Every structure is written in C-alpha cells, then in structure tokens.
Amino acid sequence: MSAQSTDIHLRKLRMGMVGGGEGAFIGAVHRKGALMDEQIELVCGAFDEVPERGRAFYSKVFIDPERAYGTYREMAEKEAALPADRRIDFVSIVTPNHMHFPVAETFLEAGFHVICEKPMTTSLELARQMRGIVERAGKVFVLTHNYTGYPMAKQARALVQEGKIGEIKKVIVEYPQDWLLTRLELQGQRQALWRTDPKQSGPAGCLGDIGSHCANLVHYITGLEIDELCADVTTFAAGRLVDDDVNVLIHYSNGARGILHASQISAGEENNLKIRVYGDKSSLYWSQEHPNYLYLYAPGAPVQIYRRGHDYLSPMARLAARIPPGHPEAYIESFGNIYLAAAASIRAAESGVEPAERLDHPGVEDGVRGLAFIETVLESGRTRQWTPFKEF
Amino acid sequence: MSAQSTDIHLRKLRMGMVGGGEGAFIGAVHRKGALMDEQIELVCGAFDEVPERGRAFYSKVFIDPERAYGTYREMAEKEAALPADRRIDFVSIVTPNHMHFPVAETFLEAGFHVICEKPMTTSLELARQMRGIVERAGKVFVLTHNYTGYPMAKQARALVQEGKIGEIKKVIVEYPQDWLLTRLELQGQRQALWRTDPKQSGPAGCLGDIGSHCANLVHYITGLEIDELCADVTTFAAGRLVDDDVNVLIHYSNGARGILHASQISAGEENNLKIRVYGDKSSLYWSQEHPNYLYLYAPGAPVQIYRRGHDYLSPMARLAARIPPGHPEAYIESFGNIYLAAAASIRAAESGVEPAERLDHPGVEDGVRGLAFIETVLESGRTRQWTPFKEF
Amino acid sequence: MSAQSTDIHLRKLRMGMVGGGEGAFIGAVHRKGALMDEQIELVCGAFDEVPERGRAFYSKVFIDPERAYGTYREMAEKEAALPADRRIDFVSIVTPNHMHFPVAETFLEAGFHVICEKPMTTSLELARQMRGIVERAGKVFVLTHNYTGYPMAKQARALVQEGKIGEIKKVIVEYPQDWLLTRLELQGQRQALWRTDPKQSGPAGCLGDIGSHCANLVHYITGLEIDELCADVTTFAAGRLVDDDVNVLIHYSNGARGILHASQISAGEENNLKIRVYGDKSSLYWSQEHPNYLYLYAPGAPVQIYRRGHDYLSPMARLAARIPPGHPEAYIESFGNIYLAAAASIRAAESGVEPAERLDHPGVEDGVRGLAFIETVLESGRTRQWTPFKEF
Amino acid sequence: MSAQSTDIHLRKLRMGMVGGGEGAFIGAVHRKGALMDEQIELVCGAFDEVPERGRAFYSKVFIDPERAYGTYREMAEKEAALPADRRIDFVSIVTPNHMHFPVAETFLEAGFHVICEKPMTTSLELARQMRGIVERAGKVFVLTHNYTGYPMAKQARALVQEGKIGEIKKVIVEYPQDWLLTRLELQGQRQALWRTDPKQSGPAGCLGDIGSHCANLVHYITGLEIDELCADVTTFAAGRLVDDDVNVLIHYSNGARGILHASQISAGEENNLKIRVYGDKSSLYWSQEHPNYLYLYAPGAPVQIYRRGHDYLSPMARLAARIPPGHPEAYIESFGNIYLAAAASIRAAESGVEPAERLDHPGVEDGVRGLAFIETVLESGRTRQWTPFKEF
C-alpha cells in the first residue's frame, strides 16, 4: 500500500484527532474537510474527555480500535512510540477552548505538527506562551479560521493587495446567529454547555466563538491592525455567564473606521458572516452564506460580481477552487482548503521540498492577535471607554 | 371647474412650494409625489433664493407666472391676500435646512398648513421653538421623513405592534451612500454645496442628512426611545466642514442594543438604507432599495417574505399601496403617501370631517426628537463618551 | 394661468380619458403616470360604459363635472366643439380591448392624438385597419407597452444596439402571474370579468393580456422578427372561454431560438416578467419586479450589474430616470415615461419644433405586430404545428 | 485495522473506480464525495483508457500501485480473485458515456455493486438491456443524478408528496451553461472532446449531458411521467456533431404543461439548473447555484423560504444535511449523499440488515427513463412534431 510509502509526497498524511467524538460539531467538519481531498487519512484519536466514550468512537470513524485512545496524553505517548511509517504526522485539536493549550503543548513537544481550533487559548498570556512553544518546537502550527479558506475571501484579499479598493476608509464586519437566543445550555445541548461555560470557553462567549472570526477575517482581507476600539458587550440571556452579543466601534491604524458586531441572540439568523470593505476607489462585499460570489462596487461604474472558479481570479482564489464555476463549493470545502494548506506546509517542512504553489493558512500569530482582540473588547466593555488595542 | 368647488372634499388641494427650483433635487420629488395621486395641484411657489430665477421657474412647472414669487415672504403675504377659493391650502418647504424654521414660522403664522423637509431645524433649541409655534398655530405640520411612507415600513411597524417580533433586543439600521466620497462641493454641485456648508445645513452633515432618517425609521417601526449612545463621528474628506461618516452604538430605554451607521463616503453605495429589528420571537429586515419586500425571520421556521399589495398585510400597509402585487412601487410613491396623509389631515382639519381611514405621517414631535438625536451624537463624538439622550 | 397659454411648450397638455372609472385598474395607473411629471393635466373623460357612473366619477378625479361625459362619442363631439385653448390635446384609451378600435377611430377622426392600451385591437384585420386610420389622420398614436418605458429596458436595447451582446442566439422571455388561478370571473371581479370574456378581450386571454407584452419587449430590446413558432395554448380553469397559459417555441429570422411563456395560473407569481437575451459575446437579464437593475453576463468575466440613474448608461436610459441611483423608480414611472414621450411627440407634432432629446414610445406598427403574434400563436396552438408568422 | 473487519457495518466500504484519471472532471468529484463522509475508501482503479496513464495515476490518489490497473477488464478479473476482505465492494464508473454499458455489465457479472454516471447508456435499447442485467445480477445499481442528492431537492419532493403544492399544473425546468459557446473541442479540451463526439457521448450532446438531469429532477420531485413532447433541438456551433441547445414543450400524463430547456451556448451562464413547480395550491422554486434555499409561493400568503438544516424539514431533507443551518453545503456534498445512500444500500444488501433510515438514490429505472427521454426529444426535433414518449 502506498500509505506505507516512506516518501511523504507519495502517501497520504496520517492525522490523529483530539476531541470530535459523539455529540461534537466541529470535529466531524474537520474530518470531512481533511479527508475529501485525498491527501490525509485519519488513523487515531482521543475523541472524548470520557475515555470509554472516546475509545468506542473508533467504530464511527472506522479506525483501528487499538488507536482510539482514552486520553490525549496516552495518544501522544503511544503515537510517538510507533515506528515512523505508522505514527501520525499531525494532530487536529477540536476540543473546547480550554484544552487547546495543554493538548497543543503536549503534541508539539512530542514532535508532532498541530492543527488547532480557534480561539487559540483562553487568555492573551497563554497565547503568548503558545507562540513561544511553537517557535521552540519548530513545527507547523495551523489555526482553523476556516473562513479565510474560502476562495472568494482569498479573492477579496487579492483585490485589496492589488490596490483595486484603494486606501481603506471603513470596514463593516458582522456575524449574527440565533442559536443561543434561549438558554439552550440548560437543556443539556453539548455545544451550548461548553460554549457558555467560562471554565471551558474562557471569559468570552459569542465574542470568542464568532467575534474572533470577524476580527481575523478583517485582518486577513485588509491587513489592517486595530489601534483602539469601543465595545458594547452584552449578556441578554438572564443567568448566562458569558456575553452573547457584542458591538464594537473600531479605529484602525491607518485611520479607517470600523464596525464589528457579533451576536448569538439575533432571532432567525443562521451563520450570517458578512464583510464590507470601503476604500477610496471602490468597495467589496462578501457573505459567507453565499460564498461563491464577491461583489465589487465602484462609484459611477456597474457593480461587478466575481464568481468562484474563473480564470480571471487571483492565483490563490483559483487554487482554492476544486470544481468549475456554477458548481457551488461551501463550508466544508473551506476547511478542506485549510487542511490542504496544512498538508502542503507539513510535507514541505518534513521533506524540505517546497511545492510549486500552495494555499495559505492562519497560524500562531493570528492566534495571539485574536486573544489580544478578545481581551481588548472585554476591557472596553467593562470600562465603557475607547481602549487601546493590547500589545501582542 | 371643480377646482373652484368650495367643498374641500370635492376639489384638489392647492399647494405652494418654497425652494425646489432649478438644480434642486428634492423639490421635484415632492411635486411628483404630490401630483401623482390627483389630490393636489401646484399653484404657486417661491422656488429660488435668487428672485428672478425663482420667478422664471413658472414655465417649468406650468403655473401662472403671477404666482411664481420672488421671495417666500412675498408669497406668504400675497397668497394670504387672495380669496379663499384661490389661495393655497398649504406650503411645501424644500429649501436648505437653515430656511426651514423661518419659512415654516412665516406660513404657519399666516394661517397655512405646512409640509417641511427634514431635519426640521438646525438646532434642538429651534426645534423646540417650532413645536411651540405649531401648537399655537393649530395647523397641520408634516415632516417628510418619506421612508415611513413606504408600505413595507408600515408593515414592519404593524408586525412590531402586533407582537410578532416580541420584546426587541437589538436594532441595526444603516444608510451608506458614496456621493460625497470626493469633495464634490468644490465642483459647484448645488446639492453638495449647501449640504456641506454648516451655515445652510446646520452643524451636522451626513448625520443630519441621512443619519436622521435612520433614527426616525427606528422610532417609527419600533417605538423605542434612546437612553444613551456612543458615537464615532468622522470627516473623511480633508477640509470638509461637516461630518461625512457616523457610527453609533445605542442603548434603548427597554434595554435593547442598537447600531446605527450612516455614511456618504462609502464607495459604490447608492442609497442603501436598511433596517433589522431583532426581538425575542423573530426579526424583520427591510431594505429601501428593494422596498416592496419585508423579511420575517423566526428561529426554527421558514423565512417569510411579505410582499407589497396583498390582503394579508396590515390596514396601513394596504392603504399605502396603489397597485397590485408585482407591479413595483418605489421612492416617489413614498413621498406620495406622505402627501396623501397630509392631504387627509388638512381636509379633516379644515372640514372637521375625519375620513374613514387615512395614512399616518411624521410631525413636529418627530422633528424635535430628530434634533435631539443630532445634538446627542455630535456631543458624544466630541467627548468620546457614552452620552445620555438630550431631553426633548 | 399658464394653462391657457397658447404656446404648447408653455402649458400642460390637456388629456381626456376613455375608460378608467370605478373598479378599473389600469386607468388610475395611466392618470398617475401622466400627472406625476407636471406635463399633463386631466380635463375630461368618459370613464364608464354606464353613463351615470362615468359622469359621477368627476368627483374622484376633481375635474369639471361638465366634462365628465356619458359616452365617448359625446366626449369626442363636445371636446371638438370647444375652443382650441380649452379642448383636449389627446385622449387616453384605457377601456377593455374591444373598445380600443372604435374609440381610437372616433378620436383620430375628430382630430385628436391618441394614447391606447394594448393589445391594440381584437384581430389582426382590425389592427391593419387601425394602421391605415392612423396614417390617414396624421396624428400621434402611442401604444402603452409600458415595460419599454423602464430605464433598464432602454439600457438593454442600447447594449444590443452597441453590439455588446453580439449576434443573438437565444431569447427567453416569461411572464407568469397567478391571479386567474381560480375562476375569479365567477365572483364578479371586474378585471377578471372582461379579461376572460372573448367579446371584450378578443380571442386571446393570457396571451393577449401579458403574452403580447413579452413579444413586444423582445422586439423592443433585440429588434428581432419572428420567423415561425410552435405554441402550446392551454385553458386550465374549467369553463373559462380564453387561454390562461401559453408556452411558445420560437425561431427568429436571424436563426436565434426563443422561448416565450406567459401564465395567469402560476400559483404565487405576481407580475414576474423577465427577459434573457443570449448573444455570442454576452447575455443580459432584466426582471420587471426588480426593475432598477440590468445584468450583463460575459463568459470568463465578472458579472456586471448596471444600475438605474448612472452617467455610464445610454442616453435613453439616462433620460428615462427622474431621480438619482438607489432611489428606486418603478411601474408607475414606466407609464410616466410613455406619457413623457407621448407629450414630446404631441408638442413636436403641433408646433413643428423637435425637442433636443425625447424618449421613444411604441406605436401603431407595434400594435399590428402584436396582433400578428396573437393570431399566429392561436393558430399554432390549434393545429399543434410549427406555424409561420402572419404577415403584417 | 478496522478496515479489515469482516463485519461490513464496522469497516469502510472499498471502492474501485473506472475512469477519472488525469484531465477528467467528474471522477475527482466522485472521489471527494465518496471519501468525505468516512464511509468509503478508494482502493483500486482503472483510471484511464491509456493503460500506462491509468497505472501512473496511483500516486495522485495514494493507492497501492499494484491496484492501479491498465484496463477495466483486468481490474474486474483481479479484484474478483482477491480474498473477500481485500477486494472491492463496488465500482464507480465515471467514463465517457459509451463505456458505461460494457463496464457496468462486466462488473455486475463479476459480482460487484455498481455506481454509474449518467446518461446510463447511449441508447434506449442498451438501457433496457442494462435493466435486465441488473435484475439478473441482483446487485445494487446507483445512477449518479447527483442533483437529487441535494437536501432541498429532497424537501421539494417532500412538499409535493405532502400535498403542499396541490395538483401540479405546470413545471419549468432549465439548465443553461456557456462552456461550449465556442468549439472548445477543437482546442483539445478533454471534456469538450468526448462530450461532443457521438461515438463517446451517444447521439445527444447537451441533451444527454444536462437535459437528462432536468428530466430526472422533474420526475424525482413531482413523480410525473411525460405523455408527449415537442422539441426544438439545435446545434449552434458550426461543424459540431451533437446538439448544444434544446427547448422542449411537454405534456405530462396528469395534464400538466411543461417547459424544459438546456443549453451549453448561453453566454455567461455557469451551471444554472433551476426548477419551478406550479400546483393549484402553491408553487416551489429551487436553484442549484443557491442550493440551500427552497422557495414556496402560495397565492395571497407571504413567500416562505425553507433553509437547509432545520428541524422543520422532511426526514429525508434533514438526513441529507451534515451541518447546521447557515453553514452552506453544496455540489460535492450532493455526490456525497448519493454515495452515502449507495453505501447504505450495499451494506443492507450484503448483510441483510436494513438501517433505521437511509437516503434514497436513483437507480436503473431512472436510467431507462432517461434514455427514453433522450430518444423522444431527438425524434421530435427531427420530425418537428409533438411526439409520444417512448415506451420504456
């Protein structure tokens, strides 16, 4: 079997997973995204905080029962002890937030590459430590801000870089959902439970869960850094321990103005991430729920809609599309693109051979910036003041 | 001719206009809206601050040259001196902002009803005075916040009042345009000239011109009053004397959170007024550029799109539609509805006979609230602080 | 009053109306469209086939009761007898179809210009006769295919004429409605009554009412003539005497293929006229329910959306817009544009002075072509054969 | 490894592929769809008609080079000779059309289940033979009309079955593309080459490639059978040997009227499959390019938009969604759903254990109906006559 090839370019990469067992949401998305492009196979996991539940999960993902581990520590140890042609190449961490740090630290120090869910840690201090660990380990570290994996987000970035937008004056990014409109956490829904529990999610609720995607997407597309911000942080659901609605005014360092809002109590909203970037030449608009289209508006000219899959797109946007125009790609494919980028980085790191072209992916620096954003917003919300962005 | 009928219910109302001559924008819209529904005829005007230009304008609107006056004062005087079956019933004021107060005062005191463009005055203090004058005059006073004239804005209001939305938690209203992205005022464009000149527009630019529509529309649909707000008020165009971009975080008195933003430097935007109201039952969305549709989103239910012209709509929304579903109505018709409502109010006031049903319209109280909004935003922008809403 | 000016360029044109009384639909639309642009005033009418009802209607439209006539013949006679500075300039015919011919003939022969609803007559033979009458009378004859009055329909035509689309290969035009899904005519609804009564509507139902708009719009935008067609003509509602659903395959004379379908039994459809024109360079798409946008699709290029009101549009599309981009215009304004075009034609005809620029409008030739279309479709439906287009 | 488990419910199914090598389009889509859901692994293939090219392809899909075969006959033979715990469970046939029959026949007779691309064969006669072979073999046969795999296509079907639409009166289905606007086949593009070569594609071009999807989707959603049809079949590109544009009028056996059109020369169209079904109660609309939304229009009621992923959907539509509302799914996932359904059918066939619930999939009967459709359309196009649907 080619899977045993010793040439990392002639075999699938071997992935292990921490988290993602029964009742999880994002773990299955990671597996689908990772597997769909024929570059990666899942070979082991520590899928659940309850060891027996995690071990039993092997039958759902059709792996060797021997490699469905009870704990992530056991997994790191036993995988490290396997021969090179069997052990994993990397681990994918899809646990609640508070476990990102210890799991990532363990696997990085055991010599594995890491793909990690966001937010990277539960505090800016831990995020800075993670950056140090990654640097010392010299391993690939990928943060799954998956929205940057969409082809048209890449096209948006390219339009900014090509100067089509001009000097940026205003950025509006928004991410309303409604799934926490009521106290779903009281009904035992697992996603709601950990995401509203500060011990697992960290001090931010909605802000960390989806607000952090907004801030990351703005930075990805525009390259802008935040200078200061003024935040209105609210918990609408009585008794909930974390925020569920966040509205922020922003001053970017180039003088641009920004609005960022995220909500998990906005009735009828599904996953409505949208971004608008206004420059002095033109503006762009992208909506995650209709991801194959990017709108460019210039004053006094017809609107232009860029569509996924065309040759007129930037190299990165073209590379991120699998299939021709009009055959829509979507959310899982955006994870697939992060995994394709990660696989290319890992193969390059292991072999020293850089591929002709490869997709980009977010990394540890994005993770630190994300925690700085979270902590600045929380402070501004508390003090009701314009607050300088935390150093990171 | 029936136009000479002494029964105000059996003749068209006679309108005079102040402003709206050559090069004006909104005056022609008022005339089209007023005339289209066969209830009103234009009989006189003082169309321009330059008397000769105003008098010459008679030939564009096909009125008696004798009644194209050089000044509004002349017009008020001479019209008041005409016999009852010839003189105007009301004046429509479509001048730059700084003239709203003196013209309205003059005509109210001369015994005429008044329809006035927004913002009502250039200061909260003058707005309060206007309220007193209107009360003393006992005349009909209509403020043309025309967006409240759209059938689906009325339907939105009805849905809130019927409890379909539930307790309101969040309101997002936005109004981006791009026409002042560059310093159009330096090229002599008349609209840009007066709208960026504080002596004519008052202290607010974009904020008064379109931000005031946002605040009014929120109040119209939701009935909410603002408790406090935190504003980011910017002038992007170097050398411009008024704001051209405004972003505001809002706390409504029921605890709801709000975002309001308006801009005249947002490249590629035309007249993109949108409102979203989120309650604990469902949310609604309306966009002025696609005005015949109102979206209702409830968690866990199909989206509903209400369409103009149907019997299932509220009485007020039905009354505001002229033609069947699918035959779109738009901007001019929204003015038409304000004029229909004004005509009904004037006929009722003059005859003491209330019609079976009539459309609503904004009035002097909306004008005072609007100026309180403008002054609170300007103060918050200056102080960079959350600021309590001005008493009005 | 300037209305009495003897210079036709310095006064409003005087319109009379035949039809359009109580319970009518399109008459009021004509009046609103005619009045809104300050070029035309309504001075008389024969509004109803029941004389007393027609005479009483004066109080709804605020005209002199003396000029609310009992019959169109009385109106033609009495108006012709009035002095030149009082009598109408033109008549607007908004009756059921079977009256178009006799009314138009009467007024043309009495020396008046005519604006007439479509379809022009109830047979191709009568349509040819009408053409002769118009030619002999030497008067302006305008047919209100109002969809050609929309600015973006004019832009579509301009794009074809400029060669942007290339050689046309396929045209799809459709017009589904649902208002005759049930036998509304049995409930006494006036519109349904006459439109499903062959004695009033002519032999075509849906086909004449809206199918004729489809064929006209294709011709207006593309200039193509039909070579042959194959039609499926159906009456779904049991007992109804005219068609309510029509589907047609078309061969245009340049070899282009076409599909044209119209329906009044398509549940949930309002007034969903859409047209797509595919050439060898690009294609265009326009939808009447969203009339301010025109889409241009070229292979391998971003989609372009042309928006109403911009300087980049063709002269005719610009001329057809009253207000700036983003302030939507709609259905009534499309009639307004037909009336503006008619007014310009009438003034030019009367004065011999051609204006610098004026809008176009459909005329008698379009009416004859329309009846040829109707009769060809009916024959093809009956014979179930590809049928050559009737000579006209 | 669990992959060696002898319990077919505890291991991934083993897939072989015929076709899908370098330069192919749909083969990669099949693999992504098959692999993404963790139920299937690719273990062998005969990927190319050129044996060496096919064998070299192992390194792109990371399979054992021993199992990258030179021909499909070699593959069938050698796989059949492998032990039960290594050999494939099924073959996926993604070759040009003319090979579907011989490859399927070979594998069915060798005892393997088959998943086959559409159109099933190149003639109705061969399709009938295939039905016989499948029946005799007693194996699972799946036809990848993937559009039936979309959740909202399943919801559309459910709405029809629940009676929400009522008695169906009209169906409009369309599928315009532009990729064959020019003679791409002359530039050596592989997809264009075989799809326009009657020896590989069969006698139908656009008709077989995408017209067949239209007919299948109508049948899937409505259950209607065609009674007779009248077709306009055109080849626009000079010298091309198959049709590239097809327009069809249809009479369904319940009396409903239909329009079906497909085109590969419609400039600017990507993959714009749309369907509208009009009943006497309401109508539905679905567009493949925006697949997560299904529109329901009822007369005199707000439009309803059903959105993918919600509990209010039918069981089949819910089962076909992987991720929550607002996280869009798309084209590859529609193939994934066909493969999930196939995997469930295969496991049930092999084990005799029916799962609690499983997705549906098209089969050999759909294939025969598809060829009857193709041959009827071609005959009608040739004869220019209404033509009864071929018996099948």
Say which CATH number the domain at A380 has. Answer: 3.30.360.10
Instruction: Tell me which residue has tokens 């009943």.
Output: D279
- Rounded-to-integer distance, Cα D227 and Cα D238, Å: 33
Q: Is residue D338 part of a domain?
A: no
* φ, ψ of residue B61 in degrees (nearest 5): -115, 5
Q: Are C311 and C209 in contact (CB under 8 A)?
A: no
Q: Are A258 and A172 in contact (CB under 8 A)?
A: yes
The secondary element (H helix, E strand) that includes residue B145 is none
Mean pLDDT of chain A: 97
- CA–CA min distance C34, chain B (Å): 8
Terminal Cα distance for chain C, rounded: 46
- The chain B residue lying nearest C29, using CA atoms, is B323
Residue B108 and residue B21 share a domain: yes
Of B150, B86, B192, the residue nearest B286 (C-alpha): B150
pLDDT (0 to 100) of residue B3: 46
The strand order across the sheet containing D113-116 reads D40-46, D13-19, D90-94, D113-116, D141-143
Residue C111 and residue C95 share a domain: yes
Q: Is residue C337 part of a domain?
A: no
What DSSP string describes D335-360? HHHHHHHHHHHHHHHHHS---S----
Helices (H), B46-123: 51-56, 58-61, 72-81, 100-109
Confidence of residue D4 (pLDDT cuts 50, 70, 90): low
Confidence of residue A2 (pLDDT cuts 50, 70, 90): very low
Taking only the tens place, the pLDDT of each residue in A337-388 is 999 999 999 999 999 999 999 999 999 999 999 999 999 999 999 999 999 9
- Rounded-to-integer distance, Cα D208 and Cα D122, Å: 9
Q: Is residue A298 part of a domain?
A: yes
Residue C166 and residue C96 share a domain: no
Inter-chain CB proximity D304 and B307 less than 8 Å: no
User: What length does chain B have?
Assistant: 392
Structure tokens at D320: 């076909």
What DSSP string describes C73-102? HHHHHHHHHS-TTTS-SEEEE-S-GGGHHH
User: What percent of chain D has a predicted confidence (pLDDT) above 90?
Assistant: 97
Q: Which chains touch D (3 or more CB pairs under 8 A)?
A: A, B, C
- Rounded-to-integer distance, Cα A178 and Cα A237, Å: 12
- ∠ CA(C164), CA(C169), CA(C172), 5° rounding? 95
Taking only the tens place, the pLDDT of each residue in D99-154 is 999 999 999 999 999 999 999 999 999 999 999 999 999 999 999 999 999 999 99
User: Which of D170, D180, D303 to mutate to probe the C interface, most C CBs <10 Å?
Assistant: D170
Q: Is residue C338 part of a domain?
A: no
Q: Are B338 and B136 in contact (CB under 8 A)?
A: no
Say whether pLDDT at C381 is over 90: yes
- Per DSSP, the three-state class of D232 is strand
Q: How far is CA D243 from CA A121, B122, D185, in A?
A: 59, 69, 14
- Rounded-to-integer distance, Cα D392 and Cα D379, Å: 15
pLDDT (0 to 100) of residue D276: 98
Say whether pLDDT at C1 is over 50: no
- Rounded-to-integer distance, Cα B139 and Cα B160, Å: 30
Q: Are C335 and C37 in contact (CB under 8 A)?
A: no
- Rounded-to-integer distance, Cα D147 and Cα A327, Å: 11
Partners of D278 on chain C (C-beta within 8 Å) are 176, 263, 265-269
- Rounded-to-integer distance, Cα C248 and Cα C262, Å: 9
- Rounded-to-integer distance, Cα B15 and Cα B24, Å: 18
pLDDT (0 to 100) of residue C317: 98
pLDDT (0 to 100) of residue B1: 40
Q: Are D151 and D313 in contact (CB under 8 A)?
A: yes
- Per DSSP, the three-state class of A382 is helix
Torsion of CA B213, B214, B220, B222, to 10 degrees: 180
Range of the domain at A103: 2-147
- Rounded-to-integer distance, Cα B57 and Cα B68, Å: 7
Structure tokens at B301: 């239910």
pLDDT (0 to 100) of residue B113: 98
Structure tokens at B209: 């011109």
pLDDT (0 to 100) of residue B2: 44
Say whether pLDDT at A4 is over 90: no
pLDDT (0 to 100) of residue B4: 56
Structure tokens at B357: 């049903």
Name residues 266-325 of chain D within 8 A of B (Cβ): 296, 300-307, 310-312
Name residues 169-228 of chain D within 8 A of A (Cβ): 177, 179
List, in order, residues 6 or more apart from A89 with CB less than 8 Å away. A8, A13, A14, A15, A112, A113, A346, A350
Size of interface A-B (CB pairs under 8 A): 111
- Rounded-to-integer distance, Cα B149 and Cα B329, Å: 11
- Rounded-to-integer distance, Cα D154 and Cα D300, Å: 26
| Rg of chain D taking only CA atoms, in angstroms | 21
Domain stops at, among C121, C147, C173: C147
User: Which of C181, C260, C281, C384 to mutate to probe the D interface, most D CBs <10 Å?
Assistant: C181
Q: Is residue B336 part of a domain?
A: no
User: What length does chain A have?
Assistant: 392
Residue B155 and residue B21 share a domain: no
User: What length does chain D have?
Assistant: 392
- Rounded-to-integer distance, Cα D207 and Cα D243, Å: 7
Partners of A306 on chain C (C-beta within 8 Å) are 302
Give the strand pairing for D13-19 and D274-279.
Answer: unpaired
Q: Is residue A36 part of a domain?
A: yes
Partners of C283 on chain D (C-beta within 8 Å) are 266-269
Number of domains in chain D: 2
CB of A355 less than 8 A from some CB of D: no
Confidence of residue C4 (pLDDT cuts 50, 70, 90): low
Taking only the tens place, the pLDDT of each residue in B143-170 is 999 999 999 999 999 999 999 999 999 9
Taking only the tens place, the pLDDT of each residue in A155-165 is 999 999 999 99
Say whether pLDDT at A3 is over 70: no
Terminal Cα distance for chain B, rounded: 46
- Rounded-to-integer distance, Cα B147 and Cα B143, Å: 11
Centre a 10 Å sphere on the Cβ of residue B312 and count the other Cβ atoms it contains: 12
Structure tokens at A343: 């696989």
- CA–CA min distance C278, chain D (Å): 6
List, in order, residues 6 or more apart from A259 with CB less than 8 Å away. A171, A172, A173, A174, A247, A248, A249, A250, B247, B259, B261
Domain stops at, among C84, C114, C147: C147
pLDDT (0 to 100) of residue A145: 98
Inter-chain CB proximity C62 and B322 less than 8 Å: no
Inter-chain CB proximity C330 and B327 less than 8 Å: yes
Q: Is B212 exposed, middle or buried (0-12, 13-18, 19+ CB in 10 A)?
A: buried
Residue D15 and residue D120 share a domain: yes
Residue A188 and residue A51 share a domain: no
List, in order, residues 6 or more apart from A165 with CB less than 8 Å away. A159, A277, A278, A279, A281, A282, A283, A284, B267
Give the strand pairing for C168-176 and C141-143.
Answer: unpaired
Inter-chain CB proximity D278 and C298 less than 8 Å: no
Residue A260 and residue A156 share a domain: yes
Inter-chain CB proximity A302 and C301 less than 8 Å: no
Residue B207 and residue B241 share a domain: yes
Residue D304 and residue D170 share a domain: yes
- CA–CA min distance A151, chain B (Å): 23
- Rounded-to-integer distance, Cα C269 and Cα D298, Å: 8
Task: Pick A303's closest partner by Cβ from C301, C304, C311.
Answer: C304
Q: Is A311 exposed, middle or buried (0-12, 13-18, 19+ CB in 10 A)?
A: exposed
- The chain C residue lying nearest A306, using CA atoms, is C302
Sign of CA dihedral B244, B248, B253, B256: positive
Inter-chain CB proximity B326 and C289 less than 8 Å: yes
- The chain A residue lying nearest B251, using CA atoms, is A232
Say whether pLDDT at D3 is over 80: no
pLDDT (0 to 100) of residue C6: 79
Residue C388: strand pairing partners: C228
Q: Is residue C360 part of a domain?
A: no
Centre a 10 Å sphere on the Cβ of residue D227 and count the other Cβ atoms it contains: 16
Q: Are A72 and A106 in contact (CB under 8 A)?
A: yes
Residue B233: strand pairing partners: B246
Taking only the tens place, the pLDDT of each residue in D32-45 is 999 999 999 999 99
Residue A223 and residue A300 share a domain: yes
- ∠ CA(C169), CA(C171), CA(C173), 5° rounding? 175
Taking only the tens place, the pLDDT of each residue in D355-367 is 999 999 999 999 9
Inter-chain CB proximity D37 and A37 less than 8 Å: no
Partners of C268 on chain D (C-beta within 8 Å) are 278, 282-283, 296-299, 303
Residue B200 and residue B182 share a domain: yes
CATH number for the domain harbouring residue D87: 3.40.50.720
CB of C332 less than 8 A from some CB of B: yes
Taking only the tens place, the pLDDT of each residue in A87-134 is 999 999 999 999 999 999 999 999 999 999 999 999 999 999 999 999
- Rounded-to-integer distance, Cα D256 and Cα A30, Å: 46
List, in order, residues 6 or more apart from A66 with CB less than 8 Å away. none
Q: The whole model's pTM is what?
A: 0.97
Partners of D322 on chain A (C-beta within 8 Å) are 28-29, 32, 332
Size of interface A-D (CB pairs under 8 A): 138
Inter-chain CB proximity C279 and D267 less than 8 Å: yes
pLDDT-flagged residues of chain B (< 50): 1-3
pLDDT (0 to 100) of residue B333: 98
- Per DSSP, the three-state class of A158 is helix
Structure tokens at A326: 């009009």
- Rounded-to-integer distance, Cα C319 and Cα C29, Å: 21
Domain stops at, among C100, C121, C147: C147
List, in order, residues 6 or more apart from A383 with CB less than 8 Å away. none
Sign of CA dihedral C244, C245, C249, C251: positive
Q: Is residue B341 part of a domain?
A: no
Residue C180 and residue C268 share a domain: yes
pLDDT (0 to 100) of residue B323: 97
Structure tokens at C176: 């589904």
Partners of D303 on chain B (C-beta within 8 Å) are 304-305, 307
Confidence of residue C2 (pLDDT cuts 50, 70, 90): very low
